[in-house]
Amino acid sequence: EPLARGAHPVPIDAAARARARCLDVLTRARRTAGGDVVAADALLADLSGVGWSPVRDERGVVVTLHDAFRGAELAPEGARRLQDLGKVAAAHAGFALQVVVHDATAPAAKDTTDAKRADAAVQALVAAGAPQGRVQTELAGARAPLVDPGDAKAGPRNERLDVVFIATGR
């Protein structure tokens, strides 16, 4: 119906086009290199097979959790999902993990909520089998929004937890 009214789709901006081209080049290079691609494909298949929606980007294989926390604590569903990811991490020892905490809005300078969230996520992953020495954290704040942070309805989607499986060749 929007087409019938003459509405035009929003064009993909230049940054999105550039990122898509970079990911295409990176994917082609990884396929040429071989080894890690097979492991990443097996990881993607395992994650997809148990109901996750993983994606592959320039960082590795990414699983995103929304509503994983209640304040600084893990929500029960977030804890369960991280436990499942910890088991997957244990079964795929060739991958390190990066836990990335994102905010809907920039946190205050002395706010420690994100650090507590990251620690809780790491503890849940390690308790379920992820190798402790192979899990790192990053507090991204509001630097990488998924949607326009100014949109009152959609903006909260920017608050999320990414668990990134990074191939290490082990």
**pLDDT at res. 11:** 54
How confident is the model over 111-127, as a mean pLDDT?
Answer: 97
Helix 35-49 × helix 76-91 angle, to 10° = 140
**pLDDT at res. 38:** 80
For the cut 70, the answer to whether the pLDDT of residue 36 exceeds it is no
**pLDDT at res. 97:** 96
**What's the whole-model pTM score?**
0.79
- Give the strand pairing for 60-65 and 55-57: antiparallel
